[in-house]
Structures are given as structure tokens and as C-alpha cells.
């Protein structure tokens, strides 16, 4: 089975071809960073227009790279949400058009399911496993039992962890995109220089909170005079490192509670996956690997290029669904919001992001 995957839910236009033997035959990611940089973040209208401008060419390029024609495909997978709705519509409509024109089955893929199953593409992992999904829009702990079978143990009650990285980068004048910039700056920093809060650490349950940490970074920057001028390089590095250490502590603490919930439900399970854009961070990978080991779990993290948004994970989710006979109609809707576990209880105090 060979499937074309299309991803357009945020600021990456991505197309890939993947086969059911887990071979990635082409994987193209066109970042719109330069188009959004002047605004310090993703502008939805600019993103949607850029997807329109680049997607057709990228599909042709990916097909050529894979040495495949449309007649070689067994299906088309496109992200149908959640995400910036204009961009999602561009990718989903393109996927539908290709499916209709070549009489191929369509998989309207949940972007979060793409991240959730990415470790099965990279490492061939079996179900069930515990998943920490950390990205620009999400921070969730889920038990993954099968394709389409997700139980959410916890989520963020305010900001997503990637959002906290991006906002911290902005406050420190490190630019956009923020996650990699904070990680780079933190490399020369002293993580003990600034004392920052660890929201919800030590508390029961698996929910997260990052807005207090973000505010603490803001007050620290302000106190140091960094809101009116650029902080000295070492101070920026120390604050970036202190922030990253606080995030690591919180993620490890909350995931620690999730290991216990996973054991209660699946006593023999010992796989833990960390996925999503923030999982590209080396320090977080190392710290989470340690805490997994201490709890008797073995951690799998897809390579960084499969953690940040990409078309291969969407093509793979398409393969998983289509090979189980789960195909979608050509009027499948684009969705701005689409939870993986529709039965999950609302997080206490959760706002619109839920
Ligand atoms: O999964 P993703 O590519 O897009 C969403 O679905 O949101 O995640 C993007 C997020 C951004 O917030 C970005 O700053 C963050 O992942 N990110 C990182 C790193 N690389 C990307 N955060 C921390 N360290 C990194 N190395
Ligand atoms: Zn993503």
C-alpha cells in the first residue's frame, strides 16, 4: 500500500509518500518561517495563501522523488484538523480532488493522530503505549490502545508547552520559531541562575499548566530591564536554560503520574512515546528518557524530523486507517477543533483551547 500524505494545518506545507512497509519514499516540508517572521508568529491568512501557492508543486515534486505516478497510489491522506481552518481546507480540498480524480480512497486524518502514531512509523511500535504529545497547540498525556482508541489522562489547563517556548523566545528577543531558538540559547546557560515556578508539580493527576511559568519569565525579563533593551547574552542564555529546566521538571513530574495510570490499566505494558514538535528538544528527550527508565518504561521518540509537522506522519496515519477499512467520504469536514479522545473530561479551569 502506497499513500500520499498532505499536511497544511499550521505553517508548514508538507507532502510525503509512505508505504506500508514503513518506507518513507518522499518527505518534503516547506517552512513558511520567512513569511511569518516579520510578525513574530504565524498569521493564519498568510499561512493559508502560502499553502495554496506551494501545495500543487510540492505534490508533483514528492511524486517525482518517489518515482510514482497517481496510478501507483492506493490512497490519499490529508490533515482534516485540528488547526488553522484556512490551511486545513487547502490541504483537505487538494487531497479530495486527487482522490476524486484518480478514484482513490480518502483518509481525512486528525493531525494529533498523525503525531500519536508517528512512533509506529519510525520504530514499528506495538499497541498499547503511553503517549506524551507536546506541540505548539497541545500538551497531553494519552493511552494509545489502537488506531482511533485514545484515552486522555491529562491536558493543559492554559497554554500548550510549545506556545510557552515560543512566547519565552519572543520575550528574550530570540525570534521565531521559538522552540529551537530557546534550546540553542540554553546550551550555554546556567539553569540554576533563575528560580522559576514549576506549575502543578507534586500535585495529583496528569494535567499541565504553563501560563504561570510564562508570566514568571516575563517578570524576570522586566526586572532585568530586558523589556526595554536586549539582555546581555549570558543572561539570556541563563534564563532560557532556567525556563527549559522548569519545563523539563514539570513534564517529568506529570508523566510520572501517568506511568502509574498506565500500569493500572495495562499491567504488562512498558512502552512510552514522546511525540510532537517539542519532542525534538534534546534536553527534554534526555530527561523524559531517564524518568521513563526509572519507572520501568522504555521511551521511543521519533527522529526530530518526524516530531515537527510533516507529511509522512499523515501518510502513515492514512495507511493505518485505510488498511483497517476506515475510509472517509469526499464531504468529510475540515475542523478547527477535533479532540483525539472525545469522551475526555474537561480539564479544571480549561478555557477556549479545550
Ligand atoms: O508539532 P509541531 O511542529 O506543530 C504543531 O502541531 O503545533 O510543533 C511546533 C512547536 C512550536 O511551538 C515549536 O517552537 C516547538 O514545537 N519546537 C520546539 C523545538 N522544535 C520545535 N520546542 C522546543 N525545542 C525544540 N527543539
Ligand atoms: Zn503538529
Name the pLDDT band for 176 (thresholds 50, 70, 90).
confident
Distance CA(319)–CA(75), nearest Å, equals: 8
- pLDDT tens for each residue of 180-213: 999 999 999 999 999 999 999 999 999 999 999 9
**Cβ(162) to ligand 1 under 6 A?**
yes
Q: Is the pLDDT of residue 263 over 60?
A: yes
Domains of the chain: 2-118+305-322 (3.30.420.40), 127-304 (3.30.420.40)
As a whole-number percent, the residues of the chain with pLDDT over 90 amount to 92
Task: Tell whether the torsion through CA atoms of 183, 212, 153 and 162 is positive or negative.
Answer: negative
Distance CA(43)–CA(56), nearest Å, equals: 21
**Cβ(178) to ligand 1 under 6 A?**
yes
Q: Is the pLDDT of residue 299 over 50?
A: yes
Least confident of 26-35, 249-258, 269-278, 287-296: 26-35
Q: Which residue has the cell 493500572?
A: 264
Single out the residue of 337, 275, 273 nearest to residue 309, CA to CA: 275
Distance CA(163)–CA(158), nearest Å, equals: 10
As a whole-number percent, the residues of the chain with pLDDT over 70 amount to 98
Ligand 1 pocket: which of 278, 284, 301, 353 to mutate (most atoms within 8 A of CB): 278
Single out the residue of 63, 131, 101, 52 nearest to residue 300, CA to CA: 131
Give residue 174 CA to ligand 2 midpoint distance, Å.
Answer: 22
Residues in the chain: 354
Ligand 1 pocket: which of 132, 175, 176, 179 to mutate (most atoms within 8 A of CB): 179
State which ligand 1 atom lies nearest to the alpha carbon of 83.
6
* Reduced 3-state DSSP string for 198-218: CCCCCCCCCCECCHHHHHHHH
**What is the average pLDDT across 146-170?**
97
Q: Is the pLDDT of residue 227 over 90?
A: no
Q: Is the pLDDT of residue 172 over 70?
A: yes
**What is the average pLDDT across 97-105?**
98
Q: Is the pLDDT of residue 354 over 90?
A: no
Ligand 1 pocket: which of 162, 163, 187, 303 to mutate (most atoms within 8 A of CB): 162
Distance CA(155)–CA(78), nearest Å, equals: 25
Single out the residue of 190, 185, 237, 247 nearest to residue 216, CA to CA: 247
**What is the average pLDDT across 234-255?**
98
**Cβ(177) to ligand 1 under 6 A?**
yes
Give residue 6 CA to ligand 2 midpoint distance, Å.
Answer: 13
For ligand 2, a single-atom ion, the residues with CB < 5 A are: 135, 309
Q: Is the pLDDT of residue 45 over 70?
A: yes
Name the pLDDT band for 152 (thresholds 50, 70, 90).
very high
Q: Nearest ligand, CA of residue 134? A: 1
* pLDDT confidence of residue 350: 60
Distance CA(122)–CA(61), nearest Å, equals: 23
**Cβ(277) to ligand 1 under 6 A?**
yes
Containing 141, the helix (H) or strand (E) segment is strand 139-146
Q: Is the pLDDT of residue 111 over 90?
A: yes
Question: What order do you get walking across the sheet with 271-275 strand by strand?
Answer: 149-155, 139-146, 129-134, 271-275, 298-300
Amino acid at each position: 500500500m502506497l499513500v500520499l500524505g498532505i499536511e497544511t494545518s499550521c505553517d508548514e506545507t508538507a507532502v510525503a509518500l509512505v508505504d506500508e512497509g514503513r518506507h518513507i519514499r518522499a518527505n518534503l516540508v516547506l517552512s513558511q518561517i520567512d513569511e511569518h517572521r516579520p510578525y513574530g508568529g504565524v498569521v493564519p491568512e498568510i499561512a493559508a495563501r502560502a499553502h495554496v501557492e506551494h501545495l500543487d508543486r510540492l505534490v508533483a515534486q514528492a511524486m517525482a522523488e518517489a518515482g510514482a505516478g497517481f496510478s501507483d497510489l492506493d490512497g490519499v491522506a490529508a490533515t482534516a484538523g485540528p488547526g488553522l481552518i484556512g490551511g486545513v481546507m487547502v490541504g483537505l480540498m487538494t487531497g479530495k480532488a486527487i482522490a476524486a480524480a484518480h478514484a482513490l480512497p480518502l483518509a481525512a486524518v486528525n493531525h494529533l493522530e498523525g503525531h500519536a502514531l508517528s512512533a509506529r512509523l519510525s520504530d514499528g511500535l506495538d499497541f498499547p503505549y503511553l503517549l506524551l504529545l507536546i506541540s505548539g497547540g497541545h500538551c497531553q498525556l494519552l493511552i494509545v490502545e489502537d488506531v482511533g482508541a485514545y484515552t486522555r489522562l491529562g491536558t493543559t489547563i492554559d497554554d500548550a508547552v510549545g506556545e510557552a517556548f515560543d512566547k519565552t523566545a519572543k520575550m528574550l528577543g530570540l525570534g521565531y520559531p521559538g522552540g529551537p531558538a530557546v534550546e540553542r540559547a540554553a546550551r550555554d546557560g546556567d539553569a540554576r541562575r533563575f528560580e522559576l515556578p514549576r506549575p502543578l508539580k507534586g500535585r495529583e493527576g496528569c494535567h499541565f499548566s504553563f501560563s504561570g511559568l510564562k508570566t514568571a519569565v516575563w517578570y524576570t525579563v522586566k526586572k532585568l530591564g530586558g523589556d526595554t533593551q536586549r539582555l546581555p547574552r549570558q543572561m539570556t542564555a541563563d534564563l532560557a536554560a532556567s525556563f527549559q529546566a522548569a519545563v523539563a521538571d514539570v513534564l517529568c513530574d506529570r508523566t510520572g503520574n501517568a506511568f502509574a495510570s498506565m500500569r493500572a490499566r495495562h499491567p504488562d505494558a512498558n512502552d512510552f512515546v514522546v511525540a510532537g514538535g517539542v519532542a525534538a528538544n534534546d534536553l527534554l528527550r534526555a530527561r523524559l528518557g531517564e524518568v521513563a527508565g526509572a519507572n520501568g518504561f522504555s521511551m521511543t521518540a521519533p527522529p526530530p524530523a518526524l516530531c515537527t509537522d510533516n507529511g509522512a506522519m499523515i501518510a502513515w496515519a492514512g495507511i493505518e486507517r485505510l488498511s483497517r477499512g476506515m475510509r472517509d467520504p469526499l464531504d468529510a469536514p475540515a475542523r478547527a477543533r477535533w479532540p483525539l479522545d472525545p469522551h475526555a473530561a474537561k480539564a479544571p479551569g480549561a478555557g477556549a483551547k479545550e
